[in-house]
Amino acid sequence: MYQSLEEAVRDIWGREARIQSRRSVSGGDINEAYLLLLSNGKEAFLKLNSNAADNFFTAEAHGLEAMGEAGANVPKILASGNTSEGARFLLLNYEKASRPARDYWPLLGEMLAGMHLANTERFVEGDVFGFREDNFIGATVQKNNPKPGWIEFFRDARLGVQMKLADRYFDKSDRNLCRRMLDHLGDFLLEPKFPSLLHGDLWSGNVMPDRDGHPMLIDPAVYVGHHEADLAMTELFGGFAPAFYDAYHERIPKEPGYADRRDIYNLYHLLNHLNLFGSSYLASVRRILKRYAG
């Protein structure tokens, strides 16, 4: 881990390399993001966060590396560390977004299915579901303690954690619904036929066209779980193009009852939004709790 951004630049591009300019670009709600122009003409994408945990960007880098190992198109990781001012940074290869290729959505469906079908043994130490380290879902710590069963993992490391964090928003009725849902989660979810490496935060803002117009996955919250959890989130904020789902299901057929499980998977993300952004998400959380545990 580098102790300054300048040290990283010199190590990657040579002792004479310097940051010539830094231009603010879009980079999400949590981090500052910049396009760096270097003295040698090279460009790089910089993410900065002054308030994040020390491992915030190293966890993101490890997630990108894991997705790349599983066959996904991801940005090249250049360096991570702390700036001389004490902020955390992640330096990535700059991918100038182009217009999506004509087959962008089918390519994304095929790529995601391939990632979901990849062998996951190297990503989890000990059991089947989880990840080899904790990481982050937005700004929230995402616990990835491995478990032998998917339903057990989703109950203990996903819904249970977020429900505990959201307790300040809940009344007695909400708490009773949460307990009933956790106690009966096995009535609603299925163990997967195979474990999958998941992006973990797969909405349209975390997919972009690379310089060739091909889909690229960014900003992951990876773990090994049920592939339906990734699919469910693609539908949470409007959904992807139909060609994406057609291509995906050519490789991984849709299992009966998926539509009944989708909201439970998305409850995790709605709870996280409730914890990060406030009570405007409480009605959506209550709707799902009442549907399954009311």
Place of tokens 């909201």: 263
Per annotation, catalytic residue among 174, 201, 210, 263: 201
User: What are the pLDDT digits (tens) for 203-217?
Assistant: 999 999 999 999 999
Q: How far apart are CA 153 and CA 286, in angstroms?
A: 22
Ordered domains of the chain (ranges, CATH): 5-93 (3.30.200.20), 104-293 (3.90.1200.10)
**DSSP string across 90-118:** EEEE-----PPPTTHHHHHHHHHHHHHHS
Q: Which residues contact 108 (CB under 8 A, 6 or more apart)?
A: 207, 215, 240, 244, 247
For 136, list phi and psi in degrees, rounded to 5: -140, 140
- Distances from the Cα of 56 to the Cαs of 36, 138, 154, in angstroms? 21, 10, 22
Structure tokens at 274: 């409730």
Query: How confident is the model at residue 67, as a pLDDT?
Result: 98
Which tens digits make up the pLDDT trace of 20-66?
Answer: 999 998 766 789 999 999 999 999 999 999 989 999 999 999 999 99
Q: Summarize the confidence of residues 243-264 as an average pLDDT.
A: 97
11 catalytically annotated = no
Residue 117 phi, psi dihedral angles, 5° rounding: -90, -10
pLDDT greater than 70 at residue 162? yes
Cα gap 203→25, rounded to integer Å: 20
Residues 246/113, Cβ–Cβ less than 8 Å = no
Mean of all residue pLDDT scores within the chain: 95
Q: What pTM was estimated for this model as a whole?
A: 0.95
